[in-house]
Structures are given as structure tokens and as C-alpha cells.
Amino acid sequence: MKPTSIQRAWRTTACVAVLTLASAPAWAAQASAQQVRELMGVFGVNRMFQQMNVQMAGMMGQQLPCVPASYWNNFLDEKGMAELTEKMIPIYQRHFSAAEIDGLLKFYRSPLGRKVVAEMPSTMAEGMQVGQQWGRERAQAMMEQLQKDGTITGEGRCPATAPAQPALGKPSK
């Protein structure tokens, strides 16, 4: 029996689908470690790590004043930054293809991309301040409402409750 035009169309569609799916991994090739390192360099990951080290050294110095500042200042040295970079590479490789990394590199090398990199620390710092203030306001409003409803006491604690009653059908001890 000769295939009908509908059957030929379905076969053609199936062949195209199989070929498309088979070649999809080639379209979404995994980014190389070098591409990711390059991207991280373009948007200043080492600079961010250094800033993180300064902040961490300050916090740890306050918590453990017996430890010399020189220890904290050198805690995240070049070797530590390289180790962290290597641990981050697979994350970028899971989330971005080689073509996407190339696009990001192109963007971050553009004038707008360089501005994003330059302004991001200030933008994030301001955003964190706004977020913290918002969080404090929301927490205060929540606590006030819970106190008003009698769910918690004026001290912000759960009120004393009577001992739990045994569940139905279970003997008490």
C-alpha cells in the first residue's frame, strides 16, 4: 500500500523533529571554564571577593578581637579567590551556554555593561538598605498586629497555655 500524503507529512515532521532534537545539544554547547573565567574577570569578581574579604575581616575582628587583624586581612588571599572561582565555574556552566556567555561578555564589554559593573555595588548597597528598612517595618507591623489580636504578649512572646489535652480516643497517662 502506498503512503498517503498525510502519512508522508507526518514522517517528514517526525524526521525534522528527531534531527532538531538530536542537534539541540550542539546549539547549546556548554561554556568552557576559560569563558567563565573571562566573564568573571570582566565583571570584576576578584574585586568583589576582595571587598567581601574586607567586610568579613571587619565582622570577624569584632567577634574575635583576640585574633590579629593581619590574620583576617589575609584570610581570602589569591589562592582562596582562585579556589572560590573554580568552585563557581560549574555553576555558570549549568546556567549558561557557551553562546550565552559570549553574549554576556559582549554586553559587559560594552559601555552600558561597564556602567552596570561600575554602578552595581552602589545599587546593591542602596537596595540592601531599602530592603532592611522595609523588613524592619514589616516585622514591626506584624508584631503589633499579633499583639493586638492577642496571639502574642506585649513582650512579643507566646502566652502561657494550658497543658495539652489528650487526643480523642487515646488514654491519658
Domain ranges of the chain: 30-109, 120-151
Confidence band (pLDDT; 50, 70, 90) for 26?
very low
**Rounded (10°) CA dihedral 141, 143, 149, 152:** 180
Q: Using a cut of 0.75, tell me whether the model's pTM lies above it.
A: no
Distances (CA, A) of 38 to 31, 51, 87, 162: 11, 20, 15, 63
CA pair distance 88, 82, nearest whole angstrom: 10
pLDDT at 76 over 80: no
Q: Please report the pLDDT score of residue 165 as a whole number.
A: 65
Residue 78 has pLDDT above 90, yes or no: no
Could you report the per-residue pLDDT of 40-72, keeping only the tens digit for each?
A: 999 888 777 777 777 777 888 888 888 887 787
Residues ≥6 apart with Cβ < 8 Å to 76: 49, 50, 52, 53, 56, 84
pLDDT band at 172 (very low <50, low <70, confident <90, very high): low
Q: Note the pLDDT of residue 70.
A: 78
23-27 long-range Cβ contacts below 8 angstroms, 24+ apart: 27/97, 27/99
Amino acid at 77: D
Average pLDDT over residues 166-173: 63
Distance CA 58, CA 37 (A): 28
Q: What pLDDT score does 45 carry?
A: 80
What is the predicted pLDDT for the residue at 27? 55
Coil, strand, or helix at residue 30? strand
| Grid coordinates of 167 | 487526643
Q: Report pLDDT digits (tens) over 113-164.
A: 999 989 988 898 898 899 999 999 998 998 888 889 888 888 888 887 655 5
Kindly list the distances between the CA atom of residue 107 and the CA atoms of 62, 71, 115, 116, 117, in Å, as whole numbers in the listed order. Answer: 40, 38, 11, 10, 11
